[in-house]
Chains A and B, each alone.
Chain A
Amino acid sequence: MQERHVACRNIMQFDREFIAQISDGDLEFESDLVSSFSASSNLSLQVIDDAIARQDLATASRELHTLKGSARSVGAGKVGDIAFTLEQNLKHSIVDESLLNRLKEVLAEVRAEVQDWPTAA
């Protein structure tokens, strides 16, 4: 249990301090917020995957832009940075597959982190 907690801490995708500032200590709101992000980011990922598959780079780019804004709003800095880089590449019609995979990994970590999110007592 102790070990897992440490592991979680190591791979933390959310800036807890940032979220605490937004929620002002409201744990229920924090939980809702990160759950929403988890859900919406996965939907975004699907949209991006589908769009790239059919070479619809404009839709993929717009969705990455939204994901970037969303991630930065909840203090998920790594997601935001990867989405930003992917968006910039897409503007030059470059699809960075390895970076896209990295985004998927990070989002998986986000989901895991959200599942273990501490709820209000």
Chain B
Amino acid sequence: MADRSLNILVAEDDCVSAMVLRRALEKLGHKVTIARDGSEAWDLYFENPFRIVISDWMMPNVDGIELCRRIRSLQDNNYTYLVLITAKTSKEDRLLAMELGADDFLTKPLDVPELTARLVVARRLLDAQDTALAQAQQLSRMVEVVDASKKRFSELFMGLPIPCVSFDADGILREANHAAEQLYAFSPESMHSDLVWDRMCDASDAARFREFALNIVKNHDHTKGPAHPCDASTIEWVRTKDENLQFLLGTAFPLRAGDGSIVGGVCAVIDLTRERTLEKHMIHQIKMTNELNEQLASANFELERLATTDALTGLRNRRYFVDCLNKATCERSSELALMMIDVDHFKAFNDQFGHVEGDTVLRQVGQILSANCPEGSVAARYGGEEFVVLLRNVDLSGAKYVSETLRRAIEQNSWPHRPITISIGIAMLGEHATNSNSLIVAADEALYRSKTLGRNRISISECLEKAA
């Protein structure tokens, strides 16, 4: 303290004693105000902040004891040190004075060294009191700062648009912000003492949530500092609210005390219901679309098959065959042989045994042709009782060989009503038959010759025969 001077009030009705006292106190560097009696002292005490009051005991009207009692009854923040001057030495008197608020006594006549020593004691007590007061004020300011920061944090927590709850180390709910209150229809009163897993999710998820929350509280390194985002864990769960399912995602991290020990956890909740519902809807849609696609592909495949298949025999139909032939003749990538096949005397068979039996024969011929054609060949029904086979990568002798195989297979099959035979005409793509049309014409011409030569035989086209 730079200023060691004290403001001292002296109440003394004897002007000579007052003079002596003023002299002594001013010599010690203090500021002195003299009151002529107790009531004047009482008035002055209100006007100035005196740290020390030195009062004569015996004064008219308000005496020293009464002055002590009045000053003490004020309960001022700043302590006033009260000294009574007396010739009285009775122990009872002194005890009464101390009980009423006197701190110390001086005797008349004044002894200056004693006064100095007693003022040192007074100063020590007042300094201690000042220090205590300053500390109390500082503490009060710190409390204010802490309170303000607490309030700010609380407003931040409460106002977050994400539902947040905190829980203690036993999992008991401590706080919930407004968003959480809204999501969970919490009332702040009802919340405390409830376990977080009992309030946050359906009973079916409670055990899982309990494990999650207790892991947050227990399984973290206690020596670590404040909560780090890495400490956060997440959990997804489902909750029924008003008979609707809520899909929720919780992110939780531990809460630590000043010493780093975990005292609880905070869990922020994100409502994924909309996303999860959309996701579910989308998955359903995709599944439906896939099923439809499969059905469509299968229908297309069937349609394609139907469009290129002869309904009676199951062989390829004429349209498909013509396409194949056109492509193959255009490519000219290999030797092509075309066999034109006709069931002998089929009209007569039909007339004699009926169309149903005739159809059975055609179906069976189709099966035999299909079974005996080499791989890579195309067998088709050309129309009526006419069939065609397109062979790739064969020369004339290969074509003849295949034709003979087919002719024999038909001939040797056991037929129900009468033997069935076929006539075959072969044409090769080449100098005399350069496209699909001329190839068909050539094969047809060869077939016609097989017919005129007695049926159940193989003929090659005239041009080939001449060339050979």
Query: Chain A residues in contact with chain B, CB under 8 A?
Result: 18, 21-24, 29, 32-33, 36-37, 40, 62, 65-66, 68-70, 72-75
Contact = CB atoms under 8 A, between A and B. Distances in A.
Contact of B14 (A22, A32, A33, A66): A66
Nearest to A65: B58
Contacts of B27: 24
Most chain B CB inside 10 Å of its own CB: which residue of A23, A40, A62, A72? A72
Contacts of B16: 33, 36-37, 40, 70, 73-74
Contacts of A24: 27
Contacts of B20: 22, 33, 73-74
B109 interface: yes
Main secondary structure of the interface of A (DSSP, over half): helix
B351 to A, nearest CB: 169
Given A33-B20, A69-B56, A73-B108, 14 more contacts: A23-B23, A29-B23, A33-B19, A33-B23, A36-B15, A40-B16, A65-B58, A66-B14, A68-B87, A69-B87, A70-B14, A72-B108, A72-B109, A73-B17
Contact of A40 (B15, B24, B60): B15
A69 B112 contact: no
Interface in B1-55: 13-17, 19-20, 23-24, 27
Interface size classification for chain B: 10 to 19
A65 B20 CA distance: 17
B112 A73 contact: no
B110 interface: yes
Nearest to B27: A24
Contact of A21 (B14, B108, B112): B112
Nearest to B24: A22
A73 B109 contact: yes
25 contacts: A18-B109, A22-B23, A22-B112, A29-B23, A32-B19, A33-B20, A33-B23, A36-B15, A40-B14, A62-B58, A66-B58, A68-B87, A69-B56, A69-B87, A69-B108, A70-B14, A70-B15, A70-B17, A72-B108, A72-B109, A73-B16, A73-B108, A73-B109, A74-B16, A74-B20
